[in-house]
Amino acid sequence: MREAKEKSSVPFTVFAHIVLIFLAFLCLFFFYILIINATRSHSAIQKGFSFIPGKSLVVNFKHVLADANIPVLSGIKNSLIVSSCSAALSTYFSAMTAYGLYAYDFKLKRPAFIFIMLILSMPTQVSALGFVRLVTKMHMINTLWPLFLPAIASPAVFYFMYSYIQSSLPLDLVEAARIDGCGEFKTFNRIVLPIMKPAIAVQAIFAFVSSWNNYFIPALVISDNKKKTLPILIAALRSADFLKFDMGKVYMLITIAIVPIIIVYLFLSRYIVDGVTLGGVKE
């Protein structure tokens, strides 16, 4: 019986590996096209797709840096500031909120959780006009502050943190810290945060990528060319005059834009499996 079951499971395993290989190919193929086109000239790209890299990698890179209308270095700096601050603020304060709702008992505990979940269902576009008016009244228009300060209130990150902390943090550990005279903030920073490190790393990746690729809010708030983030600069380069349009520059700028995302992912990727697994299993 056991041998029969093993033989019957072999075709399924082969089929599963074929599907996974095909999906991996689909994911990586577009990155390959991007990198190949970043090495080709505009005229070569217009001729059609090629599996062989071109000889215009350095030329395209110089053209991107030399374009006065596309300040790439300041765009990278602005995107790094906004994305790093958004990731740090959303993960830290969402973890703190999740810890507060998990470790404390108060009358409005359930309504507070429901209210946060209701905010999660509200699209960003619905509140965009009110957000711009608020930013204007606070004299923060055309600054980077409105791009990362709202990350303090991140319902999606909170929900993940709350699910994770339920399965990973025993309340007896918190009570023991209180009995030993440890303050609440010290308990959170010294005991709770290290336990939640996998969840924080996972959500930091997602928050960083989401903020890095965000175009809608920066386009509404930022007008100064030196304060624009990379997605706005890429859109500006793509919408350039037809006579000045250079596909090689566009692909090169997109390639430059995805490098920090890959670095952050590689640095924190070892926590993804642990974070998702432990966050979804309740003891």
Q: What pLDDT is stored for residue 117 in this prediction?
A: 87
Percentage of residues in the chain with pLDDT exceeding 90? 24
pLDDT recorded at residue 245 = 73
| Res 207: pLDDT | 92
Evaluate if residue 279 carries a pLDDT over 50: no
Question: pLDDT digits over 3-52, tens only?
Answer: 555 555 667 788 888 998 998 888 888 888 888 999 998 888 888 888 88
Is the confidence at residue 271, as pLDDT, over 90? no
What is the per-residue pLDDT across 201-213, written as a single tens digit (0 to 9) for each? 889 988 999 999 9
pLDDT score at 9 = 61
Q: Is residue 278 over pLDDT 70?
A: no
Dump the DSSP string for the chain. -HHHHHHHHHHHHHHHHHHHHHHHHHHHHHHHHHHHHHTS-HHHHHH---SS--S-HHHHHHHHHH-TTS-HHHHHHHHHHHHHHHHHHHHHHHHHHHHHHHH---TTHHHHHHHHHHHHTS-GGGGHHHHHHHHHHTT-TTSSHHHHGGGGS-HHHHHHHHHHHHHH--HHHHHHHHHTT--HHHHIIIIIHHHTHHHHHHHHHHHHHHHHT--HHHHHH---GGG--HHHHHHHHHTS-GGG--HHHHHHHHHHHHHHHHHHHHHHGGGHHHHHHHHH---
Mean pLDDT (whole number) for 119-136: 84
pLDDT score recorded for residue 229: 92
214-239 confidence digits (pLDDT tens): 998 998 899 888 899 999 988 887 66
Residue range 75-97, pLDDT digits in tens:
999 999 999 999 999 999 999 99
Is pLDDT larger for residue 272 or for residue 251? Answer: 251
Most confident of 141-150, 167-176, 247-256: 141-150
- pLDDT reported for residue 96: 94
The pLDDT value recorded for residue 281 is 43
Tens of pLDDT, residues 47-68: 888 888 888 888 988 888 888 7
Percent above pLDDT 70 for the chain? 89
Higher pLDDT, 243 or 90: 90
**Residue 126's pLDDT band (boundaries 50, 70, 90)?**
confident
Whether pLDDT at 282 is above 60: no
- Give the global pTM: 0.83
Question: Please, what is the average pLDDT of the chain?
Answer: 84
